Amino acid sequence: KAGVTQTPRYLIKTRGQQVTLSCSPISGHRSVSWYQQTPGQGLQFLFEYFSETQRNKGNFPGRFSGRQFSNSRSEMNVSTLELGDSALYLCASSLSRTGKYNEQFFGPGTRLTVL
């Protein structure tokens, strides 16, 4: 079974631009979560989507948004990029079955550099 895939793997943008990152979950997984990882803050939760609906949201500004499609693929968008948005963006998928813990499987990440 293929793992979580993320595209692109590396991205360089300049301040003020916007960026869209893509994530394809493991087949059969309906929950997709996004995290931002920086050396200073570690892994921070951005949002979670389940069945095309945002189920949870972290403490990030409205410049960060996302969506999920009917095939469970997800995209996240960051508008008006700032230097501090430079980070590794990780996507994780899980089965999200009721009553069971949901081990999250991570993708390789997208390394975003904002100049």
Query: What is the contact surface with another protein in residues (CB under 8 A)?
Result: 4, 31, 33, 35, 41-45, 48, 56, 58, 90, 92, 94, 101-109
Considering beta carbons, is residue 25 or 109 the nearer one to another protein? 109
Considering beta carbons, is residue 62 or 101 the nearer one to another protein? 101
Greatest extent of the chain over all pairs of C-alpha atoms, in Å: 45
* Minimal distance, residue 6 CB to another protein, in Å: 9
Nearest to 79 by CA among 8, 15, 11: 15
* Minimal distance, residue 22 CB to another protein, in Å: 15
Considering beta carbons, is residue 24 or 33 the nearer one to another protein? 33
Residue 98 is classified by DSSP as T
* Minimal distance, residue 110 CB to another protein, in Å: 11
Question: 3-state secondary structure string, 10-65?
Answer: EEEECCCCCEEEEEECCCCCCEEEEEEEECCCEEEEEEEEECCEEEEECCCCCCEE
